[in-house]
Chain A
Amino acid sequence: MNDRTRPNRDPVTLLRIMMISRAIEERLIRLYHQGKVYGGAYSGVGQEAPGAAACLAGEPHDLYAPLIRNMSVHVGRGAGPHHLFRQWLARASSPTRGRDGNIHHGDLSAGVYPMISHLGAMLPVVTGGVMARRRRGIPCIGFGFIGDGGSSTGDFHEAVNFAAVFDVPVVFIIEDNKFAYSTPTSRQFRCANLADRAPGYGIEGHRADGNDALALLDLLARLADDIRARPRPVLVAVDTMRMRGHGEHDDFAYAPRELLESYRARDPIAVCRDALLADGRLTDEQWHALEASIRTEVDQAAREVAAEPAPDPRTLLEGVYAPS
């Protein structure tokens, strides 16, 4: 079941997805502080593991509903740095043609739903998408992402319950990253762990270390294979930490330093790299080469995209409706 020998579950690919995500977001953060990003800048720095692992656990025909911290889902489903910079820099060629900004994008041809800001709202959408694909005979499963804050919404409840009633194979991944904007988890839920909610829906709940990508891949691959064969939703609550403010405008003063440091010591990229170096699946040379090539690719994409044209205001009203 837990087959890491399949090419799409290659641990070095897992590491690479996280590294590309991190490099893109670090570059975006820099662009923001240089005043080159229109609007805010939101990142998932420190939370690359769950999305990357979910991408490797899934198949090309699966559906994903990432949220604000899940750059690694976009990267893992094939969105390159050009695609992502175009979106953030609001170029005419952006995936939303400049109609939406920053993290609000997706690529349905790659099975990735574009999020809206209303937390929880995408969970029933990915559930319905999976239902439709399976009805067409495609053995699709879904991955729906939410945070500790989003788990407080009615939509979270409606979607998980809905998927449970219809046995829709969706992995609902709650990334407990300790803060919803500035609000700590003590004001979001009373249960000991968000996985404890699963029995209330009649589904399995799992806890996982959100900063251990290899262990997450093991778990998510096992769950994905299992629910594909025996359709039903599952809940996975991962323990992680948002390593920056809600957005770059937020000084994050409310986060205890020692808490941040404890998670900084378990950075998901470093944890994964060290494990792979330790058992020889990655060499120092490969690591350095990977780092350098990603850096070059990301820098070049950022430069090229910055020179691309902005949307034409004359297109303002295009596409409000699909042509009948």
Chain B
Amino acid sequence: MPRREITYLQGIREGLQHVLRTHPETVLFGEDVAAFGGAFKMTTGFLDAFGADRVFDTPIAESAMLGAAIGMATQGLKPIVELQFADFATTALHQLLNNAGTLHYRTGVPVPLTVRAPCGGGFGGGPFHSEELEAIFCHMPGIKVVYPAFPSDARSLIVSAVLDPNPVIFLENKFLYRHVKEDVETDIAPVPLGCARICRPGTDATVVTYGAMVHTAIHAAETVAHETGAEVMVLDLRSLKPLDTQAILAAAATGRVLVLHEAWRTCGLGAEVAALIAEQAFHHLDAPVRRLTAPDCPVPFAPELEAAYRPDEPTVTEALLDLLET
């Protein structure tokens, strides 16, 4: 099988192209996505390839975009909505939580809707272009949340998200868009929603993480292995809801768990993972579950402040060394 290197952005792009090509009931819309190709050039060329009735720009109206997408999803289409930044989901949360998330429960009518939401910091986006809102999304019944870390997973999971009969929020880490590359096969391997993946094996400790922090964790684990010989497992959650609880509990068998995310700490996903392990895998633990997260403050702009805000390789390495000595 021939292989070639693609970026994370290319992965999502190719997955979108695949699903638009193979499923005529898909439509893609959002702000600046058509002729302009999107703020991150994710959809460059899509307008020409798929036509103006399937790829189109909308007014700056997140609630109308998501509301219209819900209406479309109930009438045979599979809409893919691009939020220019995940941060802007907050102007339409009621459409996600109350309309999209409740419709099937209330009426039995599926809502096959995918919301693409570029998120995360590390590039000077400041408070309103860097937010990680996955905990808010995961709190909503009836919604699925996906957050890939690798180009291959991004390519596969966007296809799974679009074809799922439920509303799926597909979080795309902006920092990873062009920073992460991977050799992939030509064919898109199916990856189901709700399945985590061990992306670095290890027996001495576990990092449970997702998104950009997966790569930070892998680098930190390499450093730890080099310095101490300890082997740290890195579990990439890939889907945040449904959460792969079996994989998390199995990964906790190393006895030492660090949960890592670049989202805020209080009521973040780390709290959920730590609680799950405490409830169901306490007997495995040799040390308390640790959380390494962003602090509970708005995402700061200045590089010095953002560097202090966002977990990075040295802080993860330090946390792992500390955990291994506990």
Contact = CB atoms under 8 A, between A and B. Distances in A.
A322 B73 CA distance: 13
A136 B74 CA distance: 13
Nearest to B98: A116
B287 to A, nearest CB: 35
B164 interface: yes
Nearest to A161: B59
A132 B61 CA distance: 18
A323 B91 CA distance: 29
Interface in A265-324: 319-324
B107 A158 contact: no
A131 B75 CA distance: 9
Interface residues of A, number: 43
Interface in A109-131: 113-114, 116-118, 121-131
Nearest to B193: A324
Contact of B107 (A95, A127, A128, A130): A95
A123 B67 contact: yes
A320 B142 contact: yes
A108 interface: yes
Contacts of A154: 63, 91
Given A116-B99, A320-B104, A324-B166, A126 B63 contact: no
In which size bucket is the chain B interface? 35 or more
Nearest to B70: A125
Interface stretch (A16-24, A96-104, A181-189): A96-104
B63 A99 contact: no
A117 B102 CA distance: 12
A158 B61 contact: yes
B76 A114 contact: no
Contact of A323 (B59, B67, B72, B165): B165
Given A118-B94, A121-B95, A135 B53 contact: yes
A162 interface: yes
B106 A161 contact: no
A45 to B, nearest CB: 25
B144 A321 contact: yes
A118 B98 contact: yes
11 contacts: A104-B106, A118-B99, A124-B66, A124-B71, A128-B67, A132-B77, A135-B53, A155-B63, A162-B68, A322-B166, A324-B192
Given A99-B106, A136-B75, A162-B59, 6 more contacts: A104-B106, A108-B74, A124-B66, A132-B71, A132-B75, A161-B61
Interface of B: 27, 53, 58-59, 61, 63-72, 74-77, 79, 91, 94-95, 98-99, 102-112, 141-142, 144, 164-166, 192-193
